[in-house]
Structure 1
Amino acid sequence: MADQNVKTRYKCKKFPREKDIIVEVPGSKSITNRALLMGALADGKSTIKGVLFSDDSRVFMSALMEIGYIVEIDEDNHTVTIEGKPTRSSEEVNVYVGSAGTAARFITALLAFSGNAYYVESSEQMRKRPMKALLLALEDMGVEFVYEKNEYEFPFHIRPFRADKESYEVDLNIDASSQFLSAMLLSAPVLNADLTIRLTGERDAKSYVYISTKMMKEFGAEVEQIDENTYRVRKGQRYREMVYQVEPDVSAACYFYALAAVTAGRAVVKNVHFDSTQGDIKFVNVLEKMGCEISDGELGIEVKGPEGKLKGLDIRMSDFSDQTMTLAAIAPFSDGVISISGVEHIRRQESDRINAIVSELRRLGIKVDEREDGMDIYPGEIVPTEVETYDDHRMAMAFAVLGVARGDVVILNPECCSKTFENYFEILDCLMKI
């Protein structure tokens, strides 16, 4: 990374206007981790191509190896091969899930249904993130957890559990994270019993659940959706071995689309198209409403930013909330208020993302009204300053868009983006030089 001091700072140079941006982004984290899990549970050997290699995915792979799966890694070719039958241990196995929400939730459900004893530990950051609703649902099924410190937080022991019923019905609240539902659905074939999950709570954001059910079908297991809030996985299903291609990460692509939007530029991210299963593709439609020109060509989606200011808008982002920070970062360049709602749950992610956005925009001289489930951001002149990133990869990447659009803004702890996009700032530097 350029302009850093012991990997703690990135000073943003002003990005040229009306510049063409053509980039490739890593594979999707969400799809990578789902494919890794189903490859591990499949009969036979599966090969996952286009794998994202990042802090989160490496933790996921390491956890699978700790469980006893044989995982062959080829980072140069972005490929992972997994043997579907783990080695078994008669003793308690230690598993570490780091700060990765997907690993923490998916691996916990897998271990709960696997019938062995496990001790599961996480990073300090992950201990503060929601797990309770998932753990309660698993406890209701008969899984026993022994919490070493605080109830419903890591670290904990999982006692051996064997399904002793033909079917299980369980209530699950996904207000804090839809990953709870994905975790239970993805691991349900291990259970060897019918599993019916009834959703409680108010959250209706299920774009990531759709990714899970679609991929399960591709790997050979069907999910029945009984009604809007009831899902069932029938016993006796198994995942099949596959060669699976991971889509490019739309979440990562959106930072470059946003950069084009605020610099009157043109951005194309290779191999990202509107047929993507990822919910963050909706951000492209938001940019269109704000005045960008959008097209989908052979190379990928193209976003052309307007000559003038972006248009203000009122948007509910519950189903693509990872782009809240990206929209917030370009909001000061609009001609009116950007009102974001439906994202209360992001207060409990890598950081309190609503408070983090509000705090840093105010530090940059921008007026923001904070609400429990969102914020109103007013257009304004940015005052160059240092931006705190809260060890949150999306804060670092999104506010870097604001930083290079304005220039002279400093992003602190830029290396935290290694969680999902290791060479993000290197790509920004390269685009400056082209």
Structure 2
Amino acid sequence: MADSYRVRSLKKPAQWTVEVPGSKSITNRALLLSALCKGHVYLHGVLFSDDSRHFLSSLQSLGYDVRIDEGQHTVELEGCGGVLPVQAGSIHVGSAGTAARFLTAMLGVSEGTFVINASEQMQKRPMQPLFEALISLGASVEWLGEAWHLPVRITGAGAQIRSLEQEAVLNLDISTSTQFLSAFLLIAPMFPHGIRIHITSEKKDGSYIRITRKMMQEFGVEAGFDGCDYTVAPFDGYQKTEYQIEPDVSGACYFYAAAAMSGGSAKVKHVHWDSMQGDMKFLKLLEQMGCSLTEEADGIRLTGPVDGLKGLEVNMNDFSDQALTLAAIAPYASSSVKITHVGHIRGQECDRLHAIVTNLRNAGITCEEGDDWVCIHPGKPQPCKIETFEDHRVAMAFAVMGLGAEGIEILNPGCCKKTFENFFEVLDGLLNKQ
């Protein structure tokens, strides 16, 4: 892909019908659940991106039998019921947070010694609460770089966990990432007497945790939650032979946002209200800003307001992947937009609050930020180059801003390969039909 992408502004409101890839979050959870199943699992609708390819290659490096058909968006995998095929090896998780957290947890409660490598970007992301929990269970961790970060050499606590005569109990802080909790819930079959996870942080639940619990249920296991502790009773491996992965609502939101901003219409095929993904809340947010929503047989259609979007203040803690998307269309609202309770996004692929403020100010938009909030005032974006900080969501969100202004150029558009590698091809195809 070219070093930059110059966004073409819409000449008239968007009138789009589009398909998006499978969900990254659901794909990577399904891969781990399948690996922990007993026997053959056939996954449909798999997302193939940098993140999922790193997850798949890591499973292959660990000895799993994986058959991949990217053209058909399928993966076949032979699960081993919670026992790893090998007891030594090395994996590379790239920049995939799910692979980093989920596979580190799995290896940390296994039997064997493994090296976990990661990209420079992933090496900066928080991991300490996960490592602390694994060490409390008996794992041994050798830092191969900065302490409490990847890369590491980890010796699993499998023998100690197997020797327990009751459920394993651990304390966990999920304030910086709910992926820590999802990791331990997903690997529950590796605890022969079950597991109890006591959440020590103020944040105790979240949309991605609910996805994890729902998928565990679909694979035959209940994860209980009493408001403070999560529990999984002993069970003998997940049970599933076939699973359909939902389309990626996070990716769908960029097209919905374009329709909202332009006063047009967008339908994303196969997105329905029964989706388990937390970013469905973004559609309801756009409705608050003046959009209308209609569920059709093949997907949800959003129609933007003719007289422009309304400003608002919103707590986006539970669907923070779309904070960038809202920030990118906020200049087109009739009054200020304030996004709150999103301090944790400073520790994601980049400092996303910093990325929002930097790029909006470069485009001549007035905004202010605090530790966990940003406030954006109406204005006409001016020609500028968008610094993506190697973050796929920065690139896609600010491409939407560029649809309403002239001269917006996205640097390093190839970073979208993390989750939606043909995003700009899909966007060009829609713009060519305008």
Structures share fold, TM-score greater than 0.5: yes
Q: Deviations over 1:70-111 (max 9, x none)?
A: 110000000000011377335x31111111000000001111
The answer on 1:94 being equivalent to 2:90 is yes
The answer on 1:20 being equivalent to 2:15 is yes
SS in 2 for 1:406: coil
TM-superposed CA distance for 1:403, in Å, is 0.8
Amino acid at match of 1:102: T
Q: 1:193 to 1:147 in 2, by over 3 A?
A: farther
Matches within 5 A, 1:27-426: 27-85=22-80, 88-90=85-87, 92-161=88-157, 162=159, 163=161, 164-165=163-164, 166-225=166-225, 227-426=226-425
TM-superposed CA distance for 1:270, in Å, is 0.1
Q: Give the equivalent residue in structure 2 for 1:4.
A: none
Q: Which runs of 4+ in 1 moved over 3 A?
A: 86-90
Q: Partners of 2:86 and 2:4 in 1: how far apart?
A: 45
TM-superposed CA distance for 1:370, in Å, is 0.5
> Contact 2:382–2:406 at 8 Å: present in 1 too?
no
Q: Partners of 2:223 and 2:380 in 1: how far apart?
A: 50
> Contact 2:396–2:416 at 8 Å: present in 1 too?
yes
Q: Deviations over 1:375-412 (max 9, x none)?
A: 11000121111110000000000000001221321000
> Contact 2:14–2:258 at 8 Å: present in 1 too?
no
Identity %: 48
Q: Partners of 1:150 and 1:300 in 2: how far apart?
A: 46
> Contact 2:46–2:245 at 8 Å: present in 1 too?
yes
> Contact 1:195–1:233 at 8 Å: present in 2 too?
yes
Q: Deviations over 1:240-281 (max 9, x none)?
A: 132100000000000000000111110000010111100000
Q: Partners of 2:284 and 2:292 in 1: how far apart?
A: 10
Q: Give the equivalent residue in structure 2 for 1:11.
A: 6
Q: 1:204 to 1:407 in 2, by over 3 A?
A: farther
Return 5+ residue gaps in structure 1 as ranges.
2-6
Q: Partners of 1:195 and 1:204 in 2: how far apart?
A: 17
Q: Partners of 2:67 and 2:330 in 1: how far apart?
A: 44
> Contact 2:37–2:237 at 8 Å: present in 1 too?
yes
> Contact 2:168–2:191 at 8 Å: present in 1 too?
no
CA RMSD of aligned residues (A): 1.2
Q: 1:401 to 1:424 in 2, by over 3 A?
A: same
Q: Partners of 1:87 and 1:168 in 2: how far apart?
A: 19
Q: Deviations over 1:144-185 (max 9, x none)?
A: 111122221111111142212122111100000000000000
> Contact 2:292–2:303 at 8 Å: present in 1 too?
yes
> Contact 1:16–1:432 at 8 Å: present in 2 too?
no
> Contact 1:114–1:191 at 8 Å: present in 2 too?
no
Q: Partners of 1:190 and 1:17 in 2: how far apart?
A: 55
Amino acid at match of 1:168: A
Give the stretch that moved more between structures: 184-193 or 54-63. Answer: 184-193
SS in 2 for 1:46: strand
> Contact 2:138–2:156 at 8 Å: present in 1 too?
no
Amino acid at match of 1:41: L
SS in 2 for 1:307: coil
TM-superposed CA distance for 1:200, in Å, is 1.3
TM-superposed CA distance for 1:221, in Å, is 1.7
Q: 1:180 to 1:87 in 2, by over 3 A?
A: closer
> Contact 1:397–1:417 at 8 Å: present in 2 too?
yes
Count residues with an aligned counterpart: 427
> Contact 2:58–2:93 at 8 Å: present in 1 too?
yes
Amino acid at match of 1:370: E
Q: Partners of 2:398 and 2:231 in 1: how far apart?
A: 41
SS in 1 for 2:67: strand
Amino acid at match of 2:203: R
SS in 2 for 1:139: helix
Give the stretch that moved more between structures: 137-146 or 390-399. Answer: 137-146
SS in 1 for 2:109: helix
TM-superposed CA distance for 1:368, in Å, is 0.5
SS in 2 for 1:269: strand
Q: 1:291 to 1:87 in 2, by over 3 A?
A: closer
SS in 1 for 2:187: helix
Q: Partners of 2:343 and 2:268 in 1: how far apart?
A: 30
> Contact 2:93–2:118 at 8 Å: present in 1 too?
yes
